[in-house]
Structure 1
Amino acid sequence: MELDSVMTANPACCRQNTPLRQVAQMMADNDCGMIPVVDEQDVPVGVITDRDIAVRAVAGGKDTTRATAADYMTTPVRTVVQDSTLADCVAAMEAGQVRRIPVVGADGKLCGVVAQADIALTGNDQVTGEVVQQVSKPS
């Protein structure tokens, strides 16, 4: 199965200088828990998750009014190439223990995101179970 059939194409993304509040609003507006952070050429340089905001910023007592995506994004970013197979994508998610992974084109630019939920929607219960189990293992 090809990634194009399961990924969310043209996902919302932000820059490193995007205010943290705006990143959180993007998550709410797009009903997602991860926003890729891209550079000026749209190449992913990190990701920021709802957990990054809630745990690292808010629960950590940080001043979120002045914070940007760069302050709380996770780097380095793990990506998969758009022409990868679903099996390759699953393997990358398992290896990195990530629930969502940015997809890049041959030029390295962001073109999509694959999430555990996307894999679950393929209807392959065995693959879905494997991904959930592997990414949920304590590191």
Structure 2
Amino acid sequence: MQVGTVCTRQVVTIDAGSSVAEAACRMRDHHVGSLVVTQSTADGAQVIGIVTDRDLVMDVLTQPATSLQAPIETWARKDLVFLVEDDSLENAVAAMQARGVRRLLVKDATGHLCGVLSIDDLLDSFAVHLAGLAGVFRSGPQWKAGTTQAPSFAKSSESPRFPGFGLGAWSRAVSSAGRP
């Protein structure tokens, strides 16, 4: 699978001169954990960094002398890691491990920013594939022999069971509506 099929395409940006407070508000308003920091040039907006909610909490708020009106570019990480849409998810994981980052910027074939790939995006994608593999194990040899159909959990009236952590028992999953 390729990075372009998994990355988040709605990239939220902020101008380098915007304040730390503005950055926090933009993250809140757009429900995102990072902002791509841009700077206006004669050629248009250029990506100069990225700032995350973790950066704001761990770096900005722990500095007693920091003004919330300070420009966000002061806190933006400038050692950016770019991938192209055609890169594999394996390359993305390797890049995250090598650089110790949780987000990568994604460029299209023309070199323009087109997305952000987060560790959450990867986990969501891998979870779908792992669920499919788990279905193979659950269906076992009966399905292979044609004596039973492959399970369809989406249509099942029975909710999945999971360990009741701290309860010493197995429990039924409950939907947000309060029904299994």
Same fold (TM over 0.5): yes
Q: Which residue of 1 aligns with 2:157?
A: none
Using the TM superposition, give the Cα deviation of residue 34 of structure 1 relative to its aligned residue in structure 2, in angstroms: 1.4
Q: Distance in 2 between matches of 1:86 and 1:42?
A: 28
Q: 2:52 aligns with which of 30, 49, 52?
A: 49
Q: SS at 1:87's partner residue?
A: helix
The one-letter amino acid of 2:49's match is G
Q: How much does 1:79 deviate?
A: 1.5
Which of 54-63 and 109-118 deviates more? Answer: 54-63
Q: Aligned partner of 1:60: which letter?
A: Q
* Structure 2 counterpart of 1:18, one-letter code: S
Instruction: Report the counterpart of residue 19 of structure 1 in structure 2.
Output: 19
Unaligned runs of 5+ in 1: 126-139
Q: Could you tell me how far apart the structure 2 residues matched to 1:104 and 1:42 are? A: 15
The 5 Å alignment of 1:121-136 reads 121-122=124-125, 123=127, 124=129
Contact 2:4-2:84 at 8 Å conserved across structures: no
Which letter maps to 1:118? D
Cα 1:108/1:69, change in 2 over 3 Å: farther
Calculate the aligned-residue CA RMSD, in Å: 1.7
CA distance in 2, matches of 1:94, 1:12: 24
Deviation at 1:114, TM superposition (A): 0.8
Q: Which residue of 2 aligns with 1:116?
A: 119
**Correspondence for 1:128:** none
Counterpart Cα distance in 2 of 1:81 and 1:42: 19
8 A Cα contact 1:102 1:110, kept in partner: yes
Q: Contact conserved, 1:102 with 1:113, CA < 8 A, in 2?
A: yes
Q: Structure 1 CA distance, aligned partners of 2:115 and 2:109?
A: 12
Which residue is equivalent to 1:34?
34
Which residue in the other structure is 2:93 paired with? 90
Give 1:106 shift.
3.1
TM-score, normalised with respect to structure 1: 0.79
Whichever of the two has the greater Rg, that structure is: 2
Match of 1:72 among 56, 71, 75: 75
Deviation of 1:83 (Å): 2.1
**How far apart are residue 99 of structure 1 and its match?**
0.9
Q: How many corresponding residue pairs?
A: 125
Q: Which has the higher contact order (CA 8 A, sep 6+)?
A: 1
Which of the pair is proportionally richer in helix?
Answer: 1
1:104–1:112 Cα contact (<8 Å) kept? yes
Per-residue CA shift, 1:95-116, capped at 9, x if unaligned? 1111111112233322111111
* Deviation sequence 1:65-118 (CA, Å, 0-9, x none): 321111111112112122212111111111111111111223332211111111
Relative to structure 1, the CA distance from residue 83 to residue 22 in structure 2 (aligned partners, 3 Å threshold; closer, same or farther) is same
Structure 2 segments unaligned to the other structure (5+ residues): 131-180
Q: Output the TM-score relative to the length of structure 2.
A: 0.63
